[in-house]
């Protein structure tokens, strides 16, 4: 079902207004975070303005009308390295020029991230949630644990982080919580145990927002460690309104991964919270043909996705040419983009078909 004409027009109007802002100089310093309790207004005609609060229904992500939808958008790189890529101008471009639906805010735990300065990185996450909200974007709060691969290693930190994030943003309709980026080297039962300790922390504060649960073997549903989706299907997390995450990098992750995603999406709710067109390190040659096979599958099954990454990192997986962020842009159009950036922007900015009735 397509959007009624009036909804389409209002969304295009809202996107045009954001793009005009970007083109007239708002590529400046990041916005200050709103004070606690200041939830901000959701702009009408934007993805959040149209769809409202989301919920898991069956194996799909559904909008306020109970209709399955697909979100498409971008993930930040680590906020400890590339905050200069997340400015008023770049986020205006993401919303107004790219027509994205969702921003994933990647708060690394190690590698110079949250553990080094919890206050700094929690405040940065607050600010980016507010920035996404003001543009009518959904926002995934990504607890970007990577190494160590056991999420229990950061359990106390995760409790503290998600307690504060949920308390500040519990009344917003656009927040999704991703509680473990890429577990590895541990069993599914270990990851499930972690999830069943962190989800109540969030639910006791924010009872309505979807929670995204990382899966075994770098969120491959176990494939990268010789397993598959059946371990999740046979032993699901004991919680409602959750989805399981799947990550892929098209040059490295071929038909076995694609087929796993296809089978899993018919049995459990899946959200692709990270993917690239390159190898598993987000670098090297792009495989756009394999990437398109994934995108076609996700469109057919309404699997939401987020691409890695919205930065000017030197690797091919970063969408902006190196130096763009330190120069303060430009952000719009294809001139500042690498090859992968041009390709993914074209696929994000095609019209959404959000059903509203």
> What would the 3-class secondary structure string for 117-180 be?
CHHHHHHHHHHHHHHHHHCCCEEEEEEECCCCCCHHHHHHHHHHHHHHHHHHHCCCCCEEEECC
Q: Which is more confidently placed, 215 or 23?
A: 215
Mean pLDDT of 181-197: 98
Q: Considering the chain, what is the average pLDDT of its residues? A: 91
Lowest mean pLDDT of 5-9, 209-213, 223-227, 353-357, name the range.
5-9
Share of the chain above pLDDT 70, in %: 89
Contact by Cβ (8 Å): 75, 273: yes
Q: Which is more confidently placed, 255 or 37?
A: 255
Res. 193 pLDDT band, cuts 50 70 90: very high
Residue 349: is its pLDDT beyond 90? yes
Residue 302: is its pLDDT beyond 50? yes
* Res 255: pLDDT: 96
Residue 37 DSSP one-character state: T
Q: Catalytic residue at 178?
A: no
Q: Catalytic residue at 182?
A: yes
Q: pLDDT by residue (tens digit) across 210-239? A: 999 999 999 999 999 999 999 999 999 999
Q: Which of 130, 229, 231, 274 is catalytic?
A: 274
Dist. CA 317–CA 329, nearest whole Å: 18
Dist. CA 54–CA 174, nearest whole Å: 8
* Res 357: pLDDT: 78
Q: Which of 130, 164, 182, 231 is catalytic?
A: 182
Residue 256: is its pLDDT beyond 50? yes
Number of other CB atoms surrounding residue 106 within 10 Å: 30
Residue 4: is its pLDDT beyond 70? no
Residue 174: is its pLDDT beyond 50? yes
Residue 109: is its pLDDT beyond 70? yes
Residue 281: is its pLDDT beyond 60? yes
Element (H or E) spanning 42, and its range?
Answer: none
* Res 40: pLDDT: 56
Residue 25: is its pLDDT beyond 90? no
Residue 173: is its pLDDT beyond 60? yes
Residue 100: is its pLDDT beyond 90? yes
Res. 41 pLDDT band, cuts 50 70 90: confident
Residue 186: is its pLDDT beyond 50? yes
Mean pLDDT of 160-189: 98
* Res 14: pLDDT: 47
- Residue 186: both structure tokens together: 């541990």
Residue 38: is its pLDDT beyond 80? no
Closest CA to 179 of 50, 273, 73, 259: 273
Conformation bin of residue 111: beta by default, left when phi > 0, alpha when psi is -120 to 50: left
* Res 353: pLDDT: 87
């Amino acid at each position: 079902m397509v959007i009624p004409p009036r909804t389409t027009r209002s969304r295009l109007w809202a996107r045009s207004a954001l793009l005009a802002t970007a083109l007239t100089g708002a590529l400046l310093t990041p916005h200050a975070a709103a004070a606690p309790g200041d939830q901000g207004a959701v702009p009408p005609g934007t993805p959040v303005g149209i769809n409202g609060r989301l919920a898991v229904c069956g194996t799909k992500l559904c909008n306020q009308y109970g209709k399955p939808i697909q979100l498409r958008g971008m993930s930040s790189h680590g906020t400890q390295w590339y905050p200069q890529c997340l400015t008023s101008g770049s986020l205006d471009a993401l919303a107004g020029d790219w027509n994205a639906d969702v921003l994933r805010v990647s708060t690394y735990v190690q590698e110079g991230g949250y553990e080094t300065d919890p206050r700094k990185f929690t405040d940065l996450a607050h600010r980016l949630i507010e920035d996404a909200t003001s543009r009518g974007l959904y926002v995934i709060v990504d607890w970007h644990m990577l190494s160590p691969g056991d999420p229990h290693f950061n359990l106390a930190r995760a409790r503290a982080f998600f307690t504060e994030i949920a308390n500040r943003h519990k009344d917003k309709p656009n927040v999704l919580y991703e509680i473990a980026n890429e577990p590895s080297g541990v069993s599914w039962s270990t990851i499930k145990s972690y999830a069943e300790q962190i989800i109540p922390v969030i639910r006791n504060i924010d009872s309505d927002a979807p929670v995204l649960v990382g899966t075994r073997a770098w969120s491959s549903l176990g494939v990268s460690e010789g397993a598959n989706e059946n371990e999740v299907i046979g032993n699901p997390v004991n919680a409602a309104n959750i989805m399981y995450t799947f990550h892929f990098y098209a040059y490295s992750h071929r038909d076995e991964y694609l087929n796993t995603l296809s089978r899993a999406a018919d049995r459990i709710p899946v959200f692709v919270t990270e993917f690239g067109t390159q190898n598993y390190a987000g670098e090297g040659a792009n495989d756009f043909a394999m990437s398109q096979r994934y995108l076609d599958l996700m469109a057919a099954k309404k699997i939401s996705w987020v691409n890695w990454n919205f930065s000017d990192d030197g690797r091919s997986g970063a969408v902006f040419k190196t130096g763009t962020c330190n120069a303060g842009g430009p952000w719009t159009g294809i001139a500042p983009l690498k090859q992968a950036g041009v390709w993914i922007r074209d696929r994000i900015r095609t019209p959404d078909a959000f059903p509203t009735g």
